[in-house]
Structure 1
Amino acid sequence: MATVAELQIKSLQIRADLLRLIHNAKMGHTGGSLSNTDILTALYYEIMKHDPARPKWAERDRFIASKGHSVESLWCILADLGYFPKEELATYCQFGTRLIGHPNNKVAGIEMNTGALGHGLAISVGMALAAKKDSKAYRVFCLMGDGEQAEGSVWEAAMAGAHYKLDNLIGFVDRNRLQISGNTEDVMGIDPLDRKWEAFGWHVKQVNGHDFGELLETLRAVPEQTGKPTLVILNTTKGKGVSFAENQPEWHHHVPNEEQLRLAVAELEAASAAIRAAEEERGTNG
């Protein structure tokens, strides 16, 4: 079982990896990948049942990245876990690569091609319903963006998930409040998001999407209500972990230059070193 400190350090490593990935490719969705790194780290390193050596294991939990444009953190995690060689990350968005700018199921660990916003939850509903009908114990996790909540298909899928009482379905909204064209509440207001999902029949939780203690407590308790799917609103910061990128709309798909990459990686490495030092101090005093 991973500790909170271990997950924090891993998430900082993944952030540094994805920044290098985007810098090398000269393209990518930086801000959203930085904001979703912590939930993906919690899922893949602690919560989900999965096995890189058996990517088609029938009992595995399923993950669907509905906000597929923020795929860079997912590619880095899958490589780190051994779903494909880390060296392949250097081919991201290059000619002929499997590692394109959205999840691609030609790569082990990817369940479905996603990225057209509004589709992922419907796919997840189908997978969760199949598990119920086949008497399988696996769960389905679906990560959506907050700008994606303006898609009508999200709400059709939400109705279906509640109708079929899919308590093996867990949806997430990466609530960083910024999308490509600005603040979500200026583009297409979605608040009060929690009450809307509750009205559609879901059990709703709100957490700090960067607090591993909150994330693990919430995810280990799912489902809190039998017969209801769960929606977790992740209150996050776009660009999280890189001080000069946080809450900056232009970092939605900004590519860091050499100096920005150097500064960002140094900041992430310093944060990691501080966590290690705090853990050593705690161990000494404990």
Structure 2
Amino acid sequence: MSDLENLKEHATNIRKNIVKMVTAAGSGHPGGSLSSVEILTSIYFTQMDINADNLESNKRDRFVLSKGHASPLLYAVLCEKGFLSEEELMTFRKIDSRLQGHPSMRKLPGIDMSTGSLGQGISAAVGMALSNKYHDLPYRVYTLLGDGECEEGEVWEAAMAAAHYHLDNLIAIVDFNGLQIDGDIHDVMNPTPLDEKFKAFGWNVITLDDGNDMEQVLDALETAKTLEGNPTAIIAKTVKGKGISFMENKASWHGVAPSEEQCADALKELEGGNA
């Protein structure tokens, strides 16, 4: 099996677990978790130096899920990396579970920042990157934002600070699926053009026509590491609910759990290689 095929297999497993854990919980955010699978798979399996021995170490790359409601994605990736079991995934959002609706660094090793209040994740990532610069540490900081999240003013305050301090060790990826809980982002509070805005704030910008294409994501991440002097934003156009036909491009699946029957249909579709 090639490295690319292996990554795609990881992505399919992650999608399956997202669907299963949200169904088991009866709540959660599947749409924006599914849209970002290729992004986070690429980061965790090809970019970050994270492993079972350095989960709690400061001497490694960091990841901040700024769109904290997509916690099913992060938990499913950590499971795929072997840091927690599939059995524990099924405790998602249950009383006394380590897998809260929004990720908590106090509950689970491998969570680098507690997130949920939109805009605060990228702000924390800027602080981490600044600390690494100050201490002359070689580690990178990755953060994943939602396009709806970019309506938050705090995102742009963080972007301004990152450019001011020339944090070229910071890579921010925007999951640009075009939909948020209340509908099309252009109708709710239009934050576009995101590429031009990040450029205006002093960032390097890479745009992806298909952020669900693993090869495009990998190329963008590798290119981002070569850009010096300023932080880099990757604007990745994705599909909300990617991989499950009845969820794709539907804002209604932003924060709704599938029924048992819908879960079975979704898993059958993913097992058929349609993701």
Q: TM-score, normalised by structure 1?
A: 0.92
Q: 1:248 aligned to 234, 247, 250, which one?
A: 250
Equivalent-residue separation in structure 1 for 2:149 and 2:77 (angstroms) = 23
Equivalent-residue separation in structure 2 for 1:220 and 1:61 (angstroms) = 15
Cα pair 2:20 2:90 within 8 Å, conserved: no
The CA deviation at 1:221 is: 2.0
Deviation per residue, 1:177-217 (Å, 9 max, x gap): 00000100000111211111100000000112111111111
Equivalent-residue separation in structure 1 for 2:90 and 2:263 (angstroms) = 16
The CA deviation at 1:82 is: 2.2
Partner of 1:166: 167
Partner of 1:35: 35
Equivalent-residue separation in structure 1 for 2:54 and 2:166 (angstroms) = 29
Equivalent-residue separation in structure 2 for 1:196 and 1:136 (angstroms) = 29
Cα pair 2:13 2:80 within 8 Å, conserved: no
Partner of 2:123: 122
Superposed, which structure 2 residues align to 1:99-118 within 5 Å? 99-105=99-105, 106-118=107-119
Aligned: 1:138 with 2:139? yes
Cα pair 1:172 1:232 within 8 Å, conserved: yes
The CA deviation at 1:224 is: 3.8
Cα pair 1:21 1:90 within 8 Å, conserved: yes
Equivalent-residue separation in structure 2 for 1:214 and 1:229 (angstroms) = 19
Equivalent-residue separation in structure 1 for 2:225 and 2:50 (angstroms) = 19
Equivalent-residue separation in structure 1 for 2:79 and 2:246 (angstroms) = 27
Superposed, which structure 2 residues align to 1:154-193 within 5 Å? 154-193=155-194
Cα pair 1:36 1:174 within 8 Å, conserved: yes
Equivalent-residue separation in structure 2 for 1:223 and 1:51 (angstroms) = 20
Equivalent-residue separation in structure 1 for 2:66 and 2:110 (angstroms) = 15
Deviation per residue, 1:115-145 (Å, 9 max, x gap): 1001011101110010011110000001010
Q: Which amino acid aligns with 1:169?
A: L
Partner of 1:69: 69
Equivalent-residue separation in structure 1 for 2:6 and 2:59 (angstroms) = 26
Equivalent-residue separation in structure 2 for 1:30 and 1:147 (angstroms) = 15
Partner of 1:199: 200
Q: 1:269 aligned to 263, 268, 271, which one?
A: 271
Deviation per residue, 1:19-39 (Å, 9 max, x gap): 000111101101001001110
Q: Which amino acid aligns with 2:143?
A: C
The CA deviation at 1:167 is: 0.2
Report runs of 4+ in structure 1 exceeding 6 Å deviation.
none
Equivalent-residue separation in structure 1 for 2:227 and 2:3 (angstroms) = 27
Cα pair 2:199 2:205 within 8 Å, conserved: yes
Q: SS of the residue aligned with 1:137?
A: coil
Gap regions ≥5 residues in structure 1: 276-286
User: Alignment identity in percent?
Assistant: 45
Equivalent-residue separation in structure 2 for 1:230 and 1:252 (angstroms) = 27
Equivalent-residue separation in structure 1 for 2:53 and 2:44 (angstroms) = 14
Partner of 1:91: 91
The CA deviation at 1:2 is: 6.5
Cα pair 1:84 1:108 within 8 Å, conserved: no
Aligned: 1:3 with 2:6? no
Larger Rg: 1
Gap regions ≥5 residues in structure 2: none
The CA deviation at 1:98 is: 1.2
Q: Which amino acid aligns with 1:47?
A: Q
Q: Which amino acid aligns with 1:218?
A: A
Equivalent-residue separation in structure 2 for 1:83 and 1:136 (angstroms) = 25
The CA deviation at 1:57 is: 2.7
Cα pair 1:147 1:184 within 8 Å, conserved: yes
Q: SS of the residue aligned with 1:271?
A: coil
Q: SS of the residue aligned with 1:73?
A: helix
